[in-house]
Structure 1
Amino acid sequence: MSSPPPPAPSSQPQAGAPANSSEALRARYGERYRWLLLMTVMMGTVASVMSSTVVNVAIPGLSHHFGLGQDRAQWVTSGFMVAMTVSMLTTPWLLARFGYRATYAGCMWLLMAGGLGGGFAQDFPLVLAARVAEGLAAGVVQPIPAIIIMRAFQPQEQGRAIGLFTMGVVLAPALGPSIGGVLVDWFGWRSIFFMVVPFCIASLWLGRRFVPATAPGGAVASRSEALDWAGLALGTAGTLSLLDGLVSLRAGPPIRAAGLLALAGICFGIFLWWQARRTRLGQASLMNLRLFAWRPFAMGSLVTAIYGTALFGSTYLLPVYMQMGLGLSASSVGMVLLPSGLVLAGAIAIVSRLADRLPANVLVSTGLAILTLSFALMVTLGPSASLWMLIAYSAIGRIGLGFILPSLNLGSMRGLEKDLISQASSVINFIRMLGGAAGVSLCAIALEWRLASHGASLAGGTNLPARLAAFNEVFLMLAALCALAMLAARYLGSHSRLQNNP
């Protein structure tokens, strides 16, 4: 399933190439063009990532303004996540039909419209519609950088490119809530929605200059294939049922949770059958199942699902543990997490250089081992633990993430046929988001279960040892998941034979 080695890049556009094609832009800007293109799509992705995280600090003010209960307010986040997760599967079709530039610009306009609509909305349904619009745009944009990196960069540059991109994306959720908190205090919850507007304007300006109008592979966009609407409806119904069912496991009647999870399983089962049928008939599909015949991608997808579960689950669990288990204040939690974010950025900068020289399976396995160690070390802490020790253990986990982030996508997609790269990037992002959504609910459910087993709760009380025992058992569960992922990480690819053509 591999292609011939990439040809040497040419400084001249091919005969007859459109003026806004990748070949023409490469000839105009020279060797630096691929980095300009990467920085452009990074700006749009940062805007989409920030829109997904920064709104959390505005939910209390928004709830008070519209008189919402917790169940309705949660849909501000859930609506965004469902829209983002499902729309990731449409990225290959949109790129093939409209090309890079039109797809990218359309997402930035939609993201900006969602930000403005949410900021000016006078009732909650409009706020929710704005969040869904933002989620749709964010989902389409996020697979694009990996597609460009795998096509526009030589194999020996891909690790450095994905490291630079990942650093920008990592800093967005790290800094966004802090900036958002200041905006909410000074200007109210509406300012959070306006926060993405300058990023979108900058992305649109840069996109006009550096993003090619052609489709992946440098071809003129084709308008012959119709979108798989039936597959999209099945994927949406399955994702919505899964997320709602997982929430119902925590707060709803058991029969409702069981029904929703069963419906999710049925929808995803029919979805896979439908995708296989369309592929067999030669029709465009949202998820080309040929991808999973390539063992590095299949194993990378499994690692991605577990990694998403552990990452998003621990992001939920750590602040709750530090406040409810160790009794730290909110400001102390911020002091612990901020250095960890800086350590993560530094680790990515170093490991991205190694990703061009070392096999991906070695780097991802190393990162998973370090992440496993960090979860296991949390079990050794107690109420008397120093703040510096907590910072150190959190930083160890971020070092592990630094090994995984630049290497996982490369190891999963290297060696795939070039016409599968767009689908591969979309599918791997879709799987990560599903794993992440499941991870938050999994940690919350496991924590409530273990608290009940130990006769403790988060509501208060004096039974602190029992509460810590429950947290420790959930950390050990996450450690076991990461250790399990190491078995699949051994099969990630380490070489690339992709065409050098965005």
Structure 2
Amino acid sequence: MQPTLEQLRQRYGSRYKWLVLLTVMIGTMASIMSSTIVNVAVPDLSQHFVLGQERAQWVSAGFMLAMTLSMLTTPWFLLRYGLRRTYMGAILLLLFGGVVGGLSINYPMLLSMRVAEGLAAGILQPIPSIVVFRSFDKQEQGKAMGIFGFGVVLAPAIGPSVGGFLVEHFGWQSIFFVVVPFCLIVLAMVQRLLPVNSTLMGEAKPLDWRGLLLACVGITSLLNGLVHLHDGLLQSVPMIAIGLAALVGFVFYQLRAKDALMNMGLFRYPQFAAGALVAFIYGAGLFGSTYLLPVYMQMALHYAPSQAGLVLLPAGVVLAVTIIVAGKLADLFPPNVLVSVGLALLALSFGLIAIGSSSTGYVTFMVWAIIGRIGLGFVLPSLSLGAMRGVDQGMIAQGASTINFLRQLGGAIGVSLVGIVLEWRLAVYQGTGEPLPEARLKAFNETFFLVALFCALAVLAAIRMRSPER
């Protein structure tokens, strides 16, 4: 017979909440790794399935789109099925997507499994924040978010390097199987640590499927329209217009819906509204730069792929240390101060990269990347804390889901905008007769200035993210 929550707390004592956090952290790490590890295999997938670049990019874009949308459903799943069943179901879906994806015999089968993995990842990612706010005292929340953040940043740091080794020695199929051991470990921990009668959530409500449909149409149309801007305005503008109209309709419907997918009452809290804006702009800058930097190192500065990846390795180590320190600081200082400092460091890092040239030393780029990762370490534990403190307990689940959703949506739009601006500026410089190397360098530098501007604007919003008690 499965032990109750009270029995588990008696059995493990004060360690219990940390064991639950470890459980949800490992599953989230597996989902994040599945999102980043596939990128190194895109050339092999393109060759194996005979794909053009436009179709091959959907291996990543399909995952991101599915993850963005499914984040909105996490509160409903938790209310309807509880923490144990929701988490176990999402892990099983991630496991299924990984195994069947590695055995895919055609591109539609592969793409559908990437979408399945994305749906699982979207459900999983808001859960650790919900656990922290529900299970930990305010004095321990920063430390808990720091430890969780440490695990989360390790996944994208080691994912591409592990993926490159596996693709080279065992083929593209092997990268899909990486999630299998993580999922099996988490399933065993869920069986042992999560009770069926968990009271983490409240009363179950109907799923707002109309709101979900509007969000799906809006985001899909908007991202498709942005991707096709290079094909001409006649093809892209109608899709962008449909996407924006659907998203506006989604907001107005959420204001009137009885059991809304996104509780718009959250935005009546000034600190949450500011935090939501920070999350969106920060996501655009972070994901945009993550896409831009390795391409910049190879195309504009002519470094080998291994060198382009190595430039971020010291920054990743510094980030892992910074995020633990910043988690402890979040219990001592106002979160909006830490977020503002972190975003300012990110903007400085991108601004320095934007003034780089072919004569800039390799170690210099490493230092600039470290500055940005220190900033990222300050932002990650404090953003959710600053936005959610003071929010009513009944809104915690939807608040965590909404913050993650807006950050991911900002990231998807940021990647598209960065690609569009880069292609536009490159075409402008080539049209003036600029030699290709100089044209590429100038186009990349101006695009990095755009990313730096995103982060600078987010600082203005972060300053207003003050907790009510302060």
Instruction: Give the shorter-chain TM-score range.
Output: over 0.9
Is the 1:43–1:203 Cα contact (8 Å) retained in structure 2? yes
Q: Which amino acid aligns with 2:9?
A: R
In structure 2, stretches of 5+ residues that fail to align are none
Is the 2:45–2:172 Cα contact (8 Å) retained in structure 1? yes
3-state DSSP of counterpart to 1:455: helix
User: Offset at 1:375?
Assistant: 1.5
Tell me how far apart the structure 2 counterparts of residues 331 and 344 of structure 1 sit (CA, whole Å).
20
Q: Which amino acid aligns with 2:166?
A: L
Find 2:382's aligned residue among 407, 425, 428.
407
Tell me how far apart the structure 1 counterparts of residues 391 and 88 of structure 2 sit (CA, whole Å).
28
Percentage of pairs with the same residue? 54
In the TM superposition, 1:339-488 aligns within 5 A as 339-455=314-430, 462-488=435-461
User: Offset at 1:133?
Assistant: 0.9
Is the 2:271–2:467 Cα contact (8 Å) retained in structure 1? no
Q: In the alignment, is residue 255 of structure 1 matched against residue 230 of structure 2?
A: no
Tell me how far apart the structure 2 counterparts of residues 218 and 293 of structure 1 sit (CA, whole Å).
22
3-state DSSP of counterpart to 1:454: helix
TM-score (norm 2): 0.96
Tell me how far apart the structure 1 counterparts of residues 164 and 24 of structure 2 sit (CA, whole Å).
26
- Structure-2 residue corresponding to 1:49: 32
User: Offset at 1:59?
Assistant: 1.9
User: Offset at 1:112?
Assistant: 0.6
Pair 1:218–1:382, CA change in 2 (3 A): closer
Alpha-carbon deviations, 1:296-320, whole Å to 9, x = none?
0100010001100000111111112
Q: In the alignment, is residue 301 of structure 1 matched against residue 284 of structure 2?
A: no
3-state DSSP of counterpart to 2:312: helix
Find 1:245's aligned residue among 218, 225, 230.
225
Alpha-carbon deviations, 1:368-417, whole Å to 9, x = none?
11111112212332111111111001110111111101110110111100
Tell me how far apart the structure 2 counterparts of residues 138 and 39 of structure 1 sit (CA, whole Å).
17
Tell me how far apart the structure 2 counterparts of residues 443 and 244 of structure 1 sit (CA, whole Å).
15
3-state DSSP of counterpart to 1:381: coil
Is the 1:291–1:298 Cα contact (8 Å) retained in structure 2? yes
User: Offset at 1:24?
Assistant: 3.3
Alpha-carbon deviations, 1:122-149, whole Å to 9, x = none?
1211111111111111100000000000
Is the 2:5–2:198 Cα contact (8 Å) retained in structure 1? no
User: Offset at 1:32?
Assistant: 0.6
Is the 2:218–2:243 Cα contact (8 Å) retained in structure 1? yes
3-state DSSP of counterpart to 2:365: helix
Alpha-carbon deviations, 1:58-97, whole Å to 9, x = none?
2222222222222222221121111111010000010001
- Structure-1 residue corresponding to 2:216: 236
Could you say which structure has the higher helix fraction?
2
Alpha-carbon deviations, 1:101-122, whole Å to 9, x = none?
0000000111111111111121
Tell me how far apart the structure 2 counterparts of residues 216 and 267 of structure 1 sit (CA, whole Å).
35
3-state DSSP of counterpart to 2:358: coil
User: Offset at 1:218?
Assistant: 5.9
In structure 1, stretches of 5+ residues that fail to align are 1-17, 498-502
3-state DSSP of counterpart to 2:215: helix
Q: In the alignment, is residue 195 of structure 1 matched against residue 168 of structure 2?
A: no
Moved more, 321-330 or 91-100: 321-330
Pair 1:204–1:152, CA change in 2 (3 A): same
TM-score (norm 1): 0.90
Q: In the alignment, is residue 337 of structure 1 matched against residue 312 of structure 2?
A: yes
Alpha-carbon deviations, 1:324-380, whole Å to 9, x = none?
222222122122111111111111121111011000011001011111111221233
Alpha-carbon deviations, 1:217-269, whole Å to 9, x = none?
465xx55x32111111111111111211111113x232121111111111111
User: Offset at 1:468?
Assistant: 2.2
Is the 1:21–1:213 Cα contact (8 Å) retained in structure 2? yes
Tell me how far apart the structure 1 counterparts of residues 346 and 165 of structure 2 sit (CA, whole Å).
32
- Structure-1 residue corresponding to 2:100: 117
Is the 1:241–1:264 Cα contact (8 Å) retained in structure 2? yes
Is the 2:2–2:195 Cα contact (8 Å) retained in structure 1? no
Q: Which amino acid aligns with 2:208?
A: D
Q: Which amino acid aligns with 1:93?
A: W
Is the 2:29–2:155 Cα contact (8 Å) retained in structure 1? yes
- Structure-1 residue corresponding to 2:116: 133
Tell me how far apart the structure 2 counterparts of residues 175 and 287 of structure 1 sit (CA, whole Å).
34
Tell me how far apart the structure 1 counterparts of residues 431 and 315 of structure 2 sit (CA, whole Å).
30
Pair 1:76–1:496, CA change in 2 (3 A): farther
- Structure-1 residue corresponding to 2:87: 104
Is the 2:218–2:246 Cα contact (8 Å) retained in structure 1? yes
Is the 1:305–1:431 Cα contact (8 Å) retained in structure 2? yes
Q: In the alignment, is residue 170 of structure 1 matched against residue 153 of structure 2?
A: yes
Pair 1:85–1:101, CA change in 2 (3 A): same
Q: Which amino acid aligns with 1:145?
A: P
